[in-house]
Chains A and B, each alone.
Chain A
Amino acid sequence: MNGDIALAAHGLRRSFHQGRVRALDGVDFQLPAQASVAITGASGSGKTTLLYALSGLLELDAGTVSVEGHSPKTPAHWADLRRDRIGLVFQDDWLLPALSVAQNIEIAMHNTHRTAAERQARTRELLQLVNAEAFAERRPNELSGGERQRVAVARGLANAPAILLADEPTGELDQANSTHIADLLFDLQRSQGLSLVIVTHEHTLARRCALQFVMQDGRGAFDPDKAAP
């Protein structure tokens, strides 16, 4: 797949409050397959809104998104892509309160080819990857912010996606865990060919990405100091 485009977006527009807030004001974006892109920018510049747009969770005023060359037209198509091809890690972890940590990871594998036993095995594997085995049976409200964030990363990786969109995945983590999660993601990028988009305020993390996309007031551009896509 080298040389292909994992995600491409053109002319993304979305405003809120009767057009007074332009969260996306004509954004063009590209994620080359197996590449890593850091999205940076001030608070409120539109980073999260862009991730929502790239994963089909947002209604756009204008613009198109294509995933691995296809432009999903229906919510069902988008849902299938989020299950099979795109993993998501939200800025707030968005775990389901009724389910244990393990079950929260397992639900991402609902309605996939995996059998129950395979899902459980995969869940254990993921819990190990993010150092979360110790609290696998606890509920989200019994976890710290950093612990929840690791669970969210595990859930995002559950179906071995081709693309991972992560919104501040290390924002709540201490130095050691932050490095561990970042290492995990870049390992997967190298070994599995995961295409990576990471929204972050952390310079060290941004610098580890091959590309940097800078958002400002709903507009965005690749940092020319880093190699252009």
Chain B
Amino acid sequence: MRLVLIALRNLAYWQPRNLGAMAGILIAIASLVALVGLARGVQDTLLNALDMRGTDVLITEAGALDLISSIVPDSLAQDAAQITGVDATAPELTRLTTLEDGRSVVVVAWPVDSYPWDSLTLAQGRLPTAQDAQTVVLGQALADRLSANIGDTITLFHEPFEVIGTVTATALLSRSAAYARIGDVQALTFRQGQATSINIRTERAHRTATLQTLRAGFPDLSVETTDALGDSYLFGRIANVLALAISTVAVVSAVLVIFNTMSTSVTARRGEIAILSAVGWNRPHIVAMLLIEGSVISMIAGGLGILAGILLATGVAAHPQIVGFVDPVINAGLVAWAFAVSLGVGLLGTLVPALRAVRRPPAEVLRGR
């Protein structure tokens, strides 16, 4: 019998400890994938939405907790447009409001004909014009959620808004938002003349220089590139630190659980190891057999754990309280990393106790059985 066959026979002889080992690894990897995926999703959602808009630089109130709590005069958009290297500007007023179904929705408002509207791809209907009053364009995910069609009326800020279009977007936050004219939203939220941020598109060639000029021009405000935005708000920083902490905890606990699981299952087999030694197996062969078994267990359990983690993260993201705000980021990198953790730690967790077990004189182990 080949070594691999013997290892597979041992595995096929299904024992509760194999099942226990697989369950341990599966749970560890599933929570690793789900937690890291969700944490990255929280980090990425906002940045993706801004990125999609073609906005390079954002002017907000310095020291604001988050994008929504910042207040700046909307006239800054005209001031900023004067600066060389600035291609286009648009004031943005972003508000959260509660729909009839009790869930929150993000309402993003820009002036009619300003450049951020270009980033939305119309699925149906049209965008607002200067002649409209209290019209709204819905992200496709939001429209689906509300089963809203063109011509329907929905209530935003306790006022009726006519749905005139639906739009698609790659960023989840953009798909889940509602888009309206800044004038309507300013009036209904008592924020005349105010914006939460000024979107700025710069000329590609002079991006760094333009950023310097803008910073010099608006010394009392926060002037940040959209890439760096995650770090410039307290909530963004909290989200980043939490994401890092959660990922670290997830990885460390997965490592500990897998290591411990595999060690326990090797230790439980000391008797078999001693028998193999007694019939003349040398140590490298015994260790190799255990490593084959360990790698099969960790690969199967790791693979299933990754699937379970994806399902778990998707399920959590679909929770009614947060649906539309978090898109779990589970990419090939995370999958490969989780698989490597499972296999690497599974092998290490097998190797260490295996080397210890083969060093024990068989007589001691055989007698103790």
Contacts and interface: CB of A to CB of B under 8 A. Distances in A.
Contacts of B281: 79, 83, 107, 110-111
A188 B285 CA distance: 30
Interface in B342-366: 361-364, 366
B277 interface: yes
Contacts of B10: 98-99
Contacts of B367: 48
Contacts of A107: 1, 6, 276, 279, 281
Contacts of B272: 96-98
Given A75-B283, A107-B279, A94 B6 contact: no
A111 B2 CA distance: 9
Interface stretch (A55-63, A130-138, A194-202, A221-229): A55-63
The residue among A52, A98, A111, A119 with the most chain B CB atoms within 10 A of its own CB is A98
Contact of B283 (A79, A82, A88): A79
B321 to A, nearest CB: 49
Task: Determine the main DSSP class of B at the interface with A.
Answer: helix
B1 A80 contact: no
A82 B13 contact: no
A88 B279 contact: yes
Given A92-B369, A103-B9, A111-B285, A57 B280 contact: no
Contacts, number: 91
Interface string B91-132: 000000000000000000000000000000000000000000
B278 interface: yes
Nearest to B362: A57
Nearest to B366: A94
A155 interface: yes
Contacts of A82: 277-280
A173 interface: no
A79 B354 CA distance: 17
A79 B9 contact: no
A159 B1 CA distance: 15
Contacts of A55: 278
B275 A110 contact: no
Interface in A11-31: none
Nearest to A59: B361
Nearest to A94: B275
A76 interface: yes
Nearest to A99: B9
Contacts of A59: 361, 363-364
A75 B361 CA distance: 9
Contacts of B275: 94-96
Nearest to A58: B363
A98 B9 contact: yes
A158 B279 CA distance: 10
Interface string A65-97: 000000000011001111110001010101111
Nearest to A60: B361
B13 A111 contact: no
Contacts of A76: 282-283
A211 interface: no
Interface string B273-303: 0111111111101000000000000000000
29 contacts: A48-B367, A57-B274, A57-B361, A57-B366, A58-B363, A58-B364, A59-B361, A59-B363, A75-B283, A76-B283, A80-B280, A80-B282, A84-B280, A88-B278, A90-B278, A90-B366, A94-B274, A94-B275, A94-B369, A95-B275, A96-B272, A98-B13, A99-B6, A99-B10, A103-B1, A107-B1, A111-B285, A155-B279, A159-B280
> Lowest 7 A-B CB distances belong to which pairs?
A83-B280, A98-B13, A82-B280, A52-B363, A58-B363, A79-B282, A57-B363
